[in-house]
Amino acid sequence: MPQRKIIHIDCDCFYAAIEMRDDPRLAGKPLAVGGSADRRGVIATCNYEARAYGVRSAMSSRHALTLCPDLTIVKPRMDAYKEASKEIHTIFRDYTDLIEPLSLDEAYLDVSECSHFAGSATRIAQDIRRRVSNQLHITVSAGVAPNKFLAKIASDWRKPNGLFVITPDQVEAFVADLPVSKLHGVGKVTADKLGRLGIVSCADLRGWARLSLVREFGSFGERLWNLAHGIDERPVQNDSRRQSVSVENTYDTDLPDLASCLEKLPALLENLNGRIARIDTLYRPGKPFVKVKFHDFTQTTLEQAGAGKDLESYEQLLTQAFARGDKPVRLLGIGVRLHDLRSAHEQLQLFN
């Protein structure tokens, strides 16, 4: 098997970069893309000038303005971002068909079999960055490594507008110095537990036997052991399939009770049915679900197999979901899980 060569590409403050490109007057000023502070908006992304003030994505627009009173907040233009993303992916496809998009502005590329630049993943990444800059007038950061886990870490190493390469012979030493909080799948709770066990770095983690980690963390212990040794065999998957279709709405004022939530369902269901009508015929709608985010930003999702997708069924789901919090609601969403009919066809072919 040839040595795997994985590139992780991450656009630098993508939405904000597109806005600054299209309106140069915004460049060099604190800028965020998101909803209006007057309408309970949330920051989707921001440029580095805004980040210097502590502004971050998923922060309320109102709080962002308290941190940075000079912050300019513009509404998202998803059509422009999607068009830019398509252009970037067109560039990717000149090097490989093995592309796994993570979002509009982020993707893995497997260039193990690419013949460009004599197979040099580093030079391929350099060329991708050059072409994106020349054609789209925005910057991307890239990480090059033997696997996805390390490539993603590498792309963040010299952001913005950077390139970082981890060669196979550098993996051992590089991973040893990594904090365990950098490992894929390690959130705050797991990091805290690891810290209580005296495990701060991957070098500490390597001092534990695989079986001992499995006893402490279940099946994730196996994953931890592999990552601590720089092992990640996950393939770059270019066959992304939809899991669900949904609609949601954040309300300008909190919905105070269940009755006011139920009043919003018919409009949501109308929008959902419109989206369902437009999905590919290779998908079949399955379980319905509802999502409720309460005024304190806690949220719950409830789904039910075998339930209908009519208004009455969603009313029953919403009633149960609301009861889990029983407090004012800022966001409602409804949707359906999707069955991928291609999977069923592939299974039939396999067993035939």
Angle at 25 between CA 21 and CA 30, to 5 degrees: 90
Q: Using CA atoms, how far apart are residues 204 and 182, in angstroms rounded to an integer?
A: 14
Respond yes or no on whether the N-terminal peptide bond of residue 160 is cis (omega within 30° of 0): yes
Q: What six digits make up the tokens of 236?
A: 């770059």
Q: Is residue 70 a known part of a binding site?
A: no
Single out the catalytic residue among 83, 87, 106, 233. 106
Q: Which residues pair with 300 in a beta bridge?
A: 292
Neighbours of 146 (CB within 10 A): 21
Q: Is residue 310 a known part of a binding site?
A: no
Side chain identity at 239, as an amino acid letter?
Answer: D
Q: Is 106 a catalytic residue?
A: yes
CA atoms within 13 A of residue 6's CA, in its CB half-sphere: 24
- At 204, which helix (H) or strand (E)? helix 202-205
**DSSP conformation class of 169:** G
The annotated binding site is made up of 10, 105
Report, as residue numbers or ranges, the catalytic residues.
106
The annotated binding site for Mg(2+) is made up of 10, 105
